[in-house]
Structure formats: structure tokens, C-alpha cells
Amino acid sequence: MKKNWWKIIAVVFVLYTIIAGFLLKVPAQPILHESIRNLYFHVPMWFSMMTILFVSLWNSIKYLSKSNIESDLLASQAAHTGMLVGALGLITGSIWARYTWGAWWVADTKLNGAAITMLIYLAYFVLRGSIDEEQKRARISAVYNIFAYVMLVVFLMIIPRMNDSLHPGNGGNPGFNKYDLDSNMRMVFYPAVTGWILFVVWIFTLRVRLEKVKRKIYLND
């Protein structure tokens, strides 16, 4: 129980996000209307994705310095979890875009960033799939993971600042903090971010355990 306190926090926070997120009062904004509630679900997805992909990067670096196959398992499972969250982020974002910007997909630097992230990690899985030898696969994919993550961060940090975006906080659009994220919304938004990140880390640990069990069964056969 002592080790699992953060799982309880995750469940409580996510439950709170769902209940309070749909029931509490939100500021009435033009265009956004009630869809502003998606902030509690769409934005935390990207926060959790970047967190879990950083875990993946960290384990890849660790693999290159220590050559411990466990780090490779953690890195690949973290990337898988990241893709799951990224897909959820794309879906929630797409629905939101349909009702506020008028289309499922719009030309926007942040959307491009999201799409590139998905492509990079799908390529990472294809790369893993095409190398049979375990140690070699771990080493080569770790190198690609580090290389791709740095390029991705450069893309996400620099390019959106040089182009306009439809997202808040870019290209003349005010950030949420400015006026519409009032204290009422903050009370849900911060727990939502924490809760979703912890929740995703939990999914990640479950995936790692499952993968370890699978390997054990495979070795015993």
C-alpha cells in the first residue's frame, strides 16, 4: 500500500476531473462555449505524452551507457504508451477543432508537430521490428530514439514560435491564462494535469510488467 499512494491520487484526480470538469461552472466564451471543458482532457494528454516520451528518451540514454536490456524494455514500452496518449490527444483535439475551427484537421504548426511525433515513433517501432538480435535492436533503436527526440524538441520549441498558430498563446491569440482560465477552471485544470500524468505512468508500469511476464513465459517454453 505504501508504494501505491500515487495510484490512489491518480484515480481520485482523474475521477475529480471527469465529475468536476463536466459539472462545474465555466466562463462563457464566444465560439468555445461549453467545449472549453475539453481543456481538462485534451491539454493534459500532450503533457502526459511529453512526460512519458521523456521517460523513453531517458531509458534510451541509460541503455547506451549501461547496456542493460531492462532499460530497452522500459524505453520501448514508454514509447508505446506515448503513442496511446498521443492518439487520444489527436482525437480529442480533432473533435475540438471540428466545433471551434470548423474542420477535423486544420493547417497549424502544432497539429503538424503532433503528426510528426506520431510518425517518428511509428518509424521507431518499424525499426525495432526489423532487427532480430536483441542487444543490437536495443542499441540501434536507442540511437534513433535520442536523435529523433532532439529533432522533435527543436521542432516543437522553435518552429511554432516562428509561425502563427490557431492555438491560444500564438499568433495574436491570447493564452488561456490571460483571461478565460479563471480560478474556477484552474481548480480543475491543475489536478487534471497531475492526475492524467500519474494515470499514464501507471499504464506504463502495467505495460512493463505485462511485457516482462510475456518474456518469462516465452523463455520457459
Partner 1 sequence: MIGKQIKYLIAKELRLEMRNKYALGGILLYVVSTVFVSYLSFKKIVTPATWNALFWIIFLFASVNAIAKSFISETKGRLLYLYTLTSPQAVILSKIIYNSLLLTVLAALCLAVYSLFIGNIVQDMPLFMLTLLLGSFGFSSLLTMVSAIASKASNNFTLMAILSFPILIPLLIVLIKLSKNAIDGLEHWDMNFLMVLVFLNVIIIALSYLLFRYLWRD
Residues engaged in binding partner 1 (CB under 8 A): 64, 112, 116, 119-120, 122-123, 126-127, 130-132, 136, 139-140, 142-144, 146-148, 150-152, 154-155, 158-159, 162
Nine cell digits for residue 62 = 541509460
Phi then psi for residue 143, to 5 deg, are -60, -45
Task: Decide whether 95 or 127 has the Cβ nearer to partner 1.
Answer: 127
Task: Decide whether 60 or 194 has the Cβ nearer to partner 1.
Answer: 60
In terms of Cβ atoms closer than 10 Å to its own Cβ (0-12, 13-18, 19+), residue 21 is: buried
Nearest to 158 by CA among 99, 194, 127, 112: 112
Cα separations in angstroms, 71 against 55, 209, 220: 10, 13, 22
Min separation Cβ 161 and partner 1, Å: 10
Task: Decide whether 130 or 183 has the Cβ nearer to partner 1.
Answer: 130
Task: Decide whether 138 or 201 has the Cβ nearer to partner 1.
Answer: 138
In terms of Cβ atoms closer than 10 Å to its own Cβ (0-12, 13-18, 19+), residue 141 is: buried
Task: Decide whether 18 or 116 has the Cβ nearer to partner 1.
Answer: 116
Min separation Cβ 50 and partner 1, Å: 16
Task: Decide whether 132 or 221 has the Cβ nearer to partner 1.
Answer: 132
One-letter identity of residue 82: G
Min separation Cβ 122 and partner 1, Å: 8
Min separation Cβ 73 and partner 1, Å: 18
Distance CA 58, CA 140 (A): 15
Distance CA 50, CA 92 (A): 16
CA angle 157, 10, 4 (to 5 degrees): 120
DSSP type of residue 173:
P
Min separation Cβ 84 and partner 1, Å: 19
Min separation Cβ 157 and partner 1, Å: 10
